[in-house]
């Protein structure tokens, strides 16, 4: 599948099992090549419910991907302490369609504090408020915008059972 993408620039991820998709595992998603992944391929991967990767790792890699894809940031400006409001706005624009695909409820409160909170400026306000409500009150509103019911590491049968119980 990787060769098909390399030679044709196209790959259909919809019918591929998640446990072996592109050989996707934590080593791939944390590799040096990941930040150059095409945005449509990345979107297809993040939409999947069957990736065997911790959500906080997905977040970390999404941030690295977004920085690399944002021309005003790139590899030249990985030092967040030197960023200004325009830098955060540029990253927010790059990550706009991907943020809702993060299962924030699968991330521990400690990881949220250390890894997500520093990037709160790139998360739309209404989504950040929903996330904060979850972490502070341990509840979700019925109109939650981000994905929360499904965790990536569960099997399809478990997902099916959860959906039947809802």
Q: Which residues of 149-164 are buried (b: 16+ CB within 10 A; e: fewer)?
A: ebbbbbeeeebeeeee
Cα–Cα dist 147/144, whole Å: 8
Q: Residue 32 pLDDT > 90, yes or no?
A: no
Q: Name residues whose C-beta falls within 8 Å of residue 157's C-beta, 6 or more positions apart in sequence.
A: none
Helices (H), 9-38: 26-29
* pTM beyond 0.85: no
**pLDDT confidence bin for 140, thresholds 50/70/90:** confident
Select the more confidently predicted residue: 139 or 156. Answer: 139
Q: Which of 122-131, 136-145, 148-157 has the lowest mean pLDDT?
A: 148-157
How far is residue 165 from each of residues 88, 90, 96, 150, measured CA to CA in Å? 40, 40, 31, 13
Judge contact between 111 and 54, C-beta under 8 A: no
Judge contact between 111 and 56, C-beta under 8 A: yes
pLDDT recorded at residue 35: 83
Average pLDDT over residues 89-105: 94
């Amino acid at each position: 599948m990787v060769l098909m993408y390399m030679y044709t620039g196209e790959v259909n991820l919809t019918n591929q099992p998640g446990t072996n998709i592109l050989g996707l595992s934590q080593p791939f998603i944390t590799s040096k090549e990941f930040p150059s992944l095409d945005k449509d391929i990345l979107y297809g991967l993040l939409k999947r419910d069957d990736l065997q990767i911790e959500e906080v790792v997905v977040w970390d890699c999404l941030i690295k991907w977004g920085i690399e894809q944002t021309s005003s940031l790139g590899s030249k400006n990985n030092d967040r302490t030197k960023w200004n409001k325009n830098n955060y706005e540029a990253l927010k624009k790059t990550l706009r369609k991907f943020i809702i695909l993060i299962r924030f409820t699968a991330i521990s409160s400690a990881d949220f504090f250390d890894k997500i909170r520093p990037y709160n400026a790139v998360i739309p306000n209404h989504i950040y408020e929903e996330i904060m409500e979850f972490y502070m009150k341990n509840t979700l509103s019925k109109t939650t915008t981000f994905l929360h019911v499904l965790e990536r590491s569960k099997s399809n049968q478990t997902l099916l059972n959860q959906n039947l119980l809802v």
